[in-house]
Amino acid sequence: MYILWFLCMSFWFQTDRFEEARHRMVSEQLAKRGIKDKAVLEAMKKVPRHLLVPESQRENAYLDRPLPIGQGQTISQPYIVAMMTEEIKPTSDMKVLEIGTGSGYQAAVLAELVDQVFTIEIVPELGNKAKADLNELGYDNVNVKVGDGYEGWPSNAPFDAIIVTAAPEEIPQPLIDQLKEGGRMVIPVGPVGKTQELLLVEKKDGEIHRTKKSLVRFVPFTRSPADD
Ligand code: SAH
């Protein structure tokens, strides 16, 4: 009986501790730095980032920095996730494509905000792990595919918005084609290993408008050998 009580208490303490850290992350790293969209702030108060990063990184999950997620890849710092999410102006009726599933964290944040999320990851180990984790957390409006995101996801296009979380040297044409009229895409573009420009790409009257938003550093956008 005493052991059961102890186990319950320690579980409660752990959950509570992470929730507290998460709320602090939202107020100190996001709201204070200018993230205004209430729904984005609420979503990031909810998503258990510590359950999507590798166990060894759990304690660091709510810190103000990127984290390694295995296979040489990294998950962006929470502020960058918030900024990119806010930039697509998410609403509950939207269908969104993400390229670079990684840990599944960005996909989970989107899943709290929009109707359907499609996300593509080129590294099978990461894609499959994210799929299992998102499923376990109950995010049943996320579809994960393992493959090269360069080609987008034609059978589910067009998309209201596209978020790319790895940096190509140029915007992939298939992604431009799969963006809906009036749609928004956020994408870091630039040379491998250097600072990239985070661009907002809008499709208006069939024309493409690019706006530079900030300087960022993302992992490179890779291509599968079959597509080289
Ligand atoms: N959005 C992720 C962060 C991912 S880091 C998160 O929330 O955790 C970028 C990811 O893009 C890496 O996992 C990398 O393997 C993947 N990636 C790189 N090139 C890709 C491509 N062509 N298609 C799909 N995924 C790609």
Structural domains of the chain sorted by starting position, each given as residue range(s) with its CATH number in brackets: 2-223 (3.40.50.150)
Predicted confidence (pLDDT) at residue 227 exceeds the cutoff of 50? no
Calculate how far, in angstroms, residue 220's C-alpha sits from the geometric centre of ligand 1.
Answer: 8
Whole-structure pTM value: 0.94
Calculate how far, in angstroms, residue 100's C-alpha sits from the geometric centre of ligand 1.
Answer: 3
Asked if residue 116 lies in contact with residue 92, where contact means CB atoms within 8 angstroms, the answer is: no
Tens digit of each residue's pLDDT (9 = 90 or more) over 186-217: 999 999 888 999 999 999 998 999 999 999 99
Residue 10 annotated to the active site:
no
Per DSSP, the chain holds a count of helices (H) and strands (E) of 6, 9
Q: What confidence category does residue 10 fall into, taking pLDDT thresholds of 50, 70 and 90? A: low
Of 76, 92, 103, 224, which one is the catalytic site residue? 76
Residues 6+ apart with CB under 8 A from 123: 71, 73, 146
